[in-house]
Amino acid sequence: VGTQAQAKTYTIATDTTFAPFEFQAKGGKYKGIDIDILKAISKKENFNYKLKAISFGAAVQQLSANQVDGVIAGMNVTDERKKTFDFSNAYYTSGVVMAVAKDSNVKKFSQLRGKTVALKTGTAGSAYAKSIQNKYGFKIKYFNDSNNMYNDVKVGNSVACFEDYPVMSYGIKNGIALKIVSKQYDAGDYGFAVKKGKNAELLKKFNAGLKAIKADGTYDKIINKYLKSDQ
Ligand code: GLN
């Protein structure tokens, strides 16, 4: 007795709304691919966690300020972020796309000139749009969450937004009145992040757990639950 170490409790930040990776079910409880993956991995690796749902930009900031232990939020592993964070092995492939209102005739970046583009603070989509802003001459309006960004495009204040392909296509299938008009631009795969040089044990557990849930079919079950049977 007393020799077994207590299971540790980590604070893990996630996005407020980023279906199918994280979103609130009826009653306010969070569900989604990220949430289920984290839960399954924590069981395999015997750790506890408190989920903290905040805007993606805030999650990334709090991780770099050491206020949370990890972030799982459909976060792309990028070279830029690797300067500040350590990432797990990738668990999902994604790319950035441009989306416009369903009835819009905008389909090329050149049609953005002089118009306003809606972006979500701190995201790979916003970094991509910033990288082409000078060339195409558009204005930028920032949002803290995906739903408000989509809505600004839907009501016509902004002509386009930049979002992750799996999230945008899931949203459109589930009734968001936008359409995807570009190819996918590479932004790096999704990984779980900790602050660089911190929480190495948690990262190790995440990787070991990810390997285990891939091997025993749990990972596929989670993906199918949200991306096959749902649609
Ligand atoms: N995948 C994007 C990124 O890493 C957006 C993540 C999000 O909005 N939750 O920046």
Taking only the tens place, the pLDDT of each residue in 54-66 is 999 999 999 999 9
CA 191 distance to own-chain centroid: 9
For ligand 1, say whether the CB of 15 is within 6 Å of any of its atoms: yes
pLDDT single digits (tens) 176-230: 999 999 999 999 999 999 999 999 999 999 999 999 999 999 999 999 999 985 4
Residue-level pLDDT at 219: 98
Rounded to two decimals, what is the model's pTM?
A: 0.95
Domain ranges of the chain: 9-92+188-227, 95-186
Å from CA of 2 to ligand 1 middle: 42
Q: Is 66 exposed, middle or buried (0-12, 13-18, 19+ CB in 10 A)?
A: exposed
Average pLDDT, the chain: 96
Residue-level pLDDT at 229: 55
Å from CA of 9 to ligand 1 middle: 25
Å from CA of 75 to ligand 1 middle: 5
- For domain 95-186, the CATH class is alpha beta
Torsional class of 156: left (φ above 0), alpha (ψ -120 to 50), beta (otherwise): left
In the predicted model, is pLDDT for residue 107 greater than 70? Answer: yes
For ligand 1, say whether the CB of 87 is within 6 Å of any of its atoms: no
For ligand 1, say whether the CB of 76 is within 6 Å of any of its atoms: yes
From the alpha carbon of 15, which atom of ligand 1 is closest?
9
Rounded Cα distance between 150 and 178, Å, is 8
pLDDT single digits (tens) 12-24: 999 999 999 999 9
Å from CA of 73 to ligand 1 middle: 7
Mutational pocket test of ligand 1: of 56, 72, 119, the residue with most ligand atoms within 8 Å of the beta carbon: 56
- For domain 9-92+188-227, the CATH class is alpha beta
User: 24: which 2 tokens?
Assistant: 């609130």
Residue-level pLDDT at 5: 66
What's the average model confidence in pLDDT over 72-90? 98
Residue-level pLDDT at 4: 58
In the predicted model, is pLDDT for residue 2 greater than 90? Answer: no
The fraction of the chain above a pLDDT of 70, given in percent, is 97
DSSP state of 6: P
Residue-level pLDDT at 71: 98
- Burial code of 86-102, b = ≥16 C-beta within 10 A, e = fewer? bbbeebbebbbbbbbbe
Write the DSSP string, 13-63.
Answer: EE-SSBTTTBEEPTTS-EESHHHHHHHHHHHHHT-EEEEEE--HHHHHHHH
What's the average model confidence in pLDDT over 116-144? 98
Q: Check if 9-92+188-227 and 95-186 are the same fold.
A: yes
Å from CA of 4 to ligand 1 middle: 38
User: 28: which 2 tokens?
Assistant: 């306010």
Model ipTM over 0.90: yes
Residue-level pLDDT at 7: 82
Residue-level pLDDT at 181: 98
